[in-house]
Amino acid sequence: MVKSQKVRPTNLDLTTIKQPVSAIASILHRISGVINFILVGFLLILLDFSLQSSNNYQSIVSFLHNYFVIFIMWGFLTALTYHLFAGIRHMLMDLGYFEEIASGRKSAIVVMIITIIFSLIILGALV
């Protein structure tokens, strides 16, 4: 006897799917990790260039005073902050905390709120 497969509707439009807060937190954690990976390499290149001579150092200092570069640095530090706090949340989940749906949702919201607060503090320090 041959089974016929059910024709199931597929929804590939991701904008119509309502993700839970914990899923959004997980996705943002991955995105912040990619941002950190890319920008740390760029910062190491800048560090290498600045250590070659005092003229190069002065060039980097003037480069870092550009508002667009300050905005990029703010984004990097915000991503780093989020990645740190979300990583701590994941480690606590590995230890058995925040595994229920309600506490997982609350911990994800707390991580996002803490990141926003630290992001504003970082912005105030950079500008």
pLDDT tens-digit profile, the chain (127 residues): 667 778 887 877 777 888 899 999 999 999 999 999 999 999 999 999 999 999 999 999 999 999 999 999 999 999 999 999 999 999 999 999 999 999 999 999 999 999 999 999 999 999 8
pLDDT number for residue 114: 98
Residues whose CB falls within 8 Å of the CB of residue 95, separated by 6 or more in sequence, listed in order: none
pLDDT number for residue 1: 60
> Is 90 annotated among the ligand-binding residues?
no
Give CA 102 to chain center in angstroms. 23
> Angle, to 10 degrees, between the axis of helix 21-50 and the axis of helix 54-64?
150
Residue 39, token pair as written in the block: 């920008």
CATH of domain 20-126: 1.20.1300.10
pLDDT number for residue 2: 65
Residues whose CB falls within 8 Å of the CB of residue 14, separated by 6 or more in sequence, listed in order: none
